[in-house]
């Protein structure tokens, strides 16, 4: 994968914290920043996908009025848990 350089302006406190943590972890500040950005992107991409799925479900509910009551959800989840326990035991 081709890499490119991007600049990030950090205040002195953040720069110092990166240096200290990098020394503790035996990693460079660059490595820490790259790792933090990658983890943030993964987390935010998951959040965005879930938000889009929620919007689709909400629209489907508005269009159809279909829903499950609390008791129906609990019954279905209990059944799934029981099936998983049976499968794990078997």
pLDDT of residue 49: 98
One pLDDT digit (tens) per residue for the chain, 90 residues = 899 999 999 999 999 999 999 999 999 999 999 999 999 999 999 999 999 999 999 999 999 999 999 999 999 999 999 999 999 998
One DSSP character per residue, 2-55 reads ----------HHHHHHHHHHHHHHT--HHHHHHHHHHHHHHHHHHHHHHHHHHH
pLDDT of residue 1: 85
Q: Which residue from 70, 6, 64 is spatially nearest to 33, judged by alpha carbons? A: 6
Measure Cα distances from 73 to 63, 65, 79 in Å. Answer: 21, 16, 10
């Amino acid at each position: 994968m081709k890499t490119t350089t991007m600049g990030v302006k950090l205040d002195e406190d953040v720069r110092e914290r990166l240096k200290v943590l990098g020394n503790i972890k035996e990693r460079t500040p660059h490595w820490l920043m790259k790792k933090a950005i990658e983890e943030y992107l993964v987390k935010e991409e998951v959040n965005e996908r879930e938000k889009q799925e929620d919007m689709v479900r909400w629209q489907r509910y508005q269009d159809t009025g279909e829903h499950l009551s609390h008791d129906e959800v609990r019954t279905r989840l209990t059944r799934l848990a029981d099936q998983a326990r049976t499968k794990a035991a078997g």
